[in-house]
Amino acid sequence: MNEGLRTCGKPSRGRYVRGCRCYMCRVANAEYSLEQSHRRDGGRRPRDTPMVSAWSTQQCRKHVRELLDHGWTKRGICAASGVGRKELRSLLEGHRNTPTSKDGSRRATQRMRRANHDALMALDGEPPKRGGDRVDSAPAVNAVRWLHAHGVGYARIAEASGISYSTVRKLALDPSPTCTQATVERLARVAVMLKMEAVR
């Protein structure tokens, strides 16, 4: 099929396996074969190969499902790992081009990129807090009180951090036990700079 054509439009090793013999699909197959012949080392794949085995893919899928069971969201996993939503969906639900099983569901993906595998396996523990989540206000309260005690006014803290003046004043004078994660993060980002101003 397609003998004599330079390209079929979407050349790949997969299309070669399905019967396409255009020039670019033959090149893709040759490159794949060359890579396969050079990346085996005593029967074991070295760590620098671009893809991981079916077993490693299965372990990664299991790890991601455990993260989801412990409060992570798919969006949060993608944001924290840098893995795209399509790649994560393919890992969990099968690729859209993967043949379906007898019950109509997609078969699980057997291989995945090593970079995605390593990024997903590195995630652990509790999911990161979102900006609107309520957290312990003590770090924010202590930071605002220390800065004000050393001569940094509430208005300057509000201006540098992007937090409203009323919120900064409330943190110092009448704090509640919790505040938003975004407030804590904003204060943390400017705390060092403001402390340097206070020391001067």
pLDDT tens digit sequence for 69-99: 888 888 888 888 889 999 999 898 887 766 6
Give φ, ψ of 90 to 5 degrees.
-65, -40
Question: What is d(CA 90, CA 109) in angstroms, rounded to the nearest whole number?
Answer: 7
As a whole number of angstroms, the longest Cα–Cα distance in the chain is 80
Walk along the chain (200 residues) and give the pLDDT tens digit of each residue: 778 888 888 888 888 888 898 888 888 888 887 776 655 554 455 555 688 888 889 999 999 999 988 888 888 888 888 899 999 998 988 877 666 666 666 677 888 888 899 999 998 877 766 667 788 888 889 989 989 888 889 999 999 989 999 999 999 898 888 888 888 888 888 888 888 887 76
Q: Which residues pair with 100 in a beta bridge?
A: 106
Q: What is the DSSP string of 35-103?
A: HHHHS-BTTB--TT-SEE-HHHHHHHHHHHHHHHHTT--HHHHHHHH---HHHHHHHHH--TTSPB-TT
- Break the chain into its structural domains and give their ranges: 1-41, 51-98+105-121, 134-199
Say if residues 54 and 110 touch (Cβ distance below 8 Å).
Answer: yes
44-71 as b/e, with b when 16 or more CB fall inside 10 Å? Answer: eeeeeeebbeeebbbebbebbeebeeee
